[in-house]
Amino acid sequence: MTIALEIKDLHVEISDKEILKGVSLNIEHGEMAAIMGPNGAGKSTLASVLAGKEGYTITSGSIKYLGKNLLDMPIDERAAAGVFLAFQYPVEIPGVATSAFVRTALNAQRRHRGESELDGIEFLKLAREKAKELEMSEDFFQREVNVGFSGGEKKRAEIFQMSMLSPTLAILDETDSGLDIDTLKIVAAGINNLRSDKLCGIVITHYQRLLEHLKPDTIHILADGKIVKTGDKSLAILLEEKGYQGIIEAA
């Protein structure tokens, strides 16, 4: 298999404070990678930098996705190129209906890729299908984006957006937090449905449970702005036993 995402010695600062201190990470086509690590380690920072959020200073290093320099691309172009971030804290947008938002996004991406836009009927058909897979009621199509959604509903809506947009690089930032056991299963199945030899996944989590469903190929421990250990799923089990401190010390 070939490398799809290549992060090389990435250093990132926020307001003069270095958060990522030389992250290197390669992900192959079809690979599902998990990133675990203590609170404040920089996991969400890495996810945001991948998606293109402003306000970070990249002091050195590079990110290449499918041969292109990701850091040079505007946020929306990254999305059109297949990057999707499921937010740790999904943002509320009052006054915008969920279905209108997702349709605008999907058609913008299609336009950017030179594909034809979906009309209202085609869109609704697709949306219904995906909502059903995720066992979501269609009521939420008309609801304002994330407004008044429960924590679990917000996370499920992120996965709904992901399956509508069918990305090739999916970054899931603590999508499992706040989900009850049944919902976690549904969401995991939703993610697994998208898996293909094209999809690269980065799953950020604190818990073993989601990983049991997703069976990641690799697990990386990010601590204090660096990947300190990489392994397979046995690393997650070791982690449950020893905690981060034990692993970081051993590393």
Partner 1 sequence: MTNSSNIKNRYYQSYNDNQSLLPGLELSWIKRLRDDAITQFNQDGFPDKNVEEWNVHPCKGLSDTFYDPCQENNYEIDVKSIEKKDSNCLIRVIFLNGKVINIEHDTLPAGIKVNTLSFYLKNNPEFLKGKIKSANEYSEVRLSNIIDSRPQSIVALNTAFHEDGAIIHIDKNIEVPGFIELLHLGECEENTMKHIRSVIFLDKASKCEVLENIKQHKNNNVVFTSNVTDVHVSEGASLSFVRFIEGNSKNLHINNVHVQLDKDSKFISTSLINSKGQARAETRVNLLGENSSSKINILMMGTNNSLQESLTKVKHSTKNTKSDQIIRIILDENSRGSFQGKIRVDVGADGTLANMSGKSLLLSDNARVNSKPELEILADDVRCSHGVTVGSLNAEQLFYLRSRGIPENEARKLLINSFGNVIINNISTNLAKRAKNLMLEDSNKND
Ligand X SMILES: Nc1ncnc2c1ncn2[C@@H]1O[C@H](COP(=O)(O)OP(=O)(O)OP(=O)(O)O)[C@@H](O)[C@H]1O
| Residue 43 neighbours by CB under 8 Å, 6+ apart | 35, 37, 173, 204, 222
State the minimum distance, in angstroms, from the CB of residue 24 to ligand X. 17
Which C-beta is closer to ligand X: that of 55 or that of 120?
55
Distance CA 195, CA 239 (A): 26
Continuous segment of H or E residues that includes residue 6:
strand 3-14
The smaller minimum CB distance to ligand X, of residues 136 and 223, is found at 223
- Cβ-count burial 61-100 (b if 16+ within 10 Å, e if not): bebbbbeeebbebeeeebbbbbbbbbbbebeeeeeeebbe
Hey, is 148 helix, strand or coil?
coil
Strand order in 17-28's β-sheet?
17-28, 3-14, 57-65, 68-69
- The interface partner of residue 104, options being Mg ion, partner 1, ligand X, none and the CB cut-off 5 to 8 Å by kind, is partner 1
Binding mask 175-214 for ligand X (x = CB under 6 A): ----------------------------------------
Residue 5 CB: number of other CB atoms within 10 A? 23
CA–CA separation, 90 vs 19, rounded Å? 22
Selected binder of ligand X within 24, 40, 93, 182 (CB under 6 A): 40
Question: Scanning residues 142 to 171, which ones bind partner 1 (CB under 8 A)?
Answer: 161, 165
52 binds, among Mg ion, partner 1, ligand X, none (CB under 5 to 8 A by kind): partner 1
User: With binding defined as CB under 5 A, does residue 44 bind Mg ion?
Assistant: yes
CB 127 within 8 A of CB 161: no
Q: Which residues from 57-116 bind Mg ion, rule CB under 5 A? A: 88
| Amino acid code (one letter) for 8 | K
Rg, the chain, Cα only: 18
> Which of the stretches 97-105, 205-213, 221-229, 236-244 binds partner 1 when contact is defined by CB under 8 A?
97-105
Q: Indicate whether 51 belongs to the interface with partner 1 (CB under 8 A).
A: yes
- Closest separation in Å from C-beta 2 to ligand X: 29
243: contact with ligand X by CB under 6 A:
no
**Which CB sits closer to Mg ion, 88 or 107?**
88
- Alpha helices (runs of H) in the chain, residue ranges in sequence order: 43-51, 75-80, 98-112, 120-133, 151-165, 181-194, 208-214, 234-250
Q: Is 5 near partner 1 (CB under 8 A)?
A: no
What residues make contact with partner 1 under the rule CB under 8 A? 51-55, 74-76, 78-80, 84-85, 87, 90-96, 101-102, 104-106, 108-109, 112, 161, 165
By the criterion CB under 5 A, which residues form the site for Mg ion?
A: 43-44, 88
The residues that touch ligand X, with contacts defined as CB under 6 A, are: 14-15, 17, 19, 37, 39-45, 88
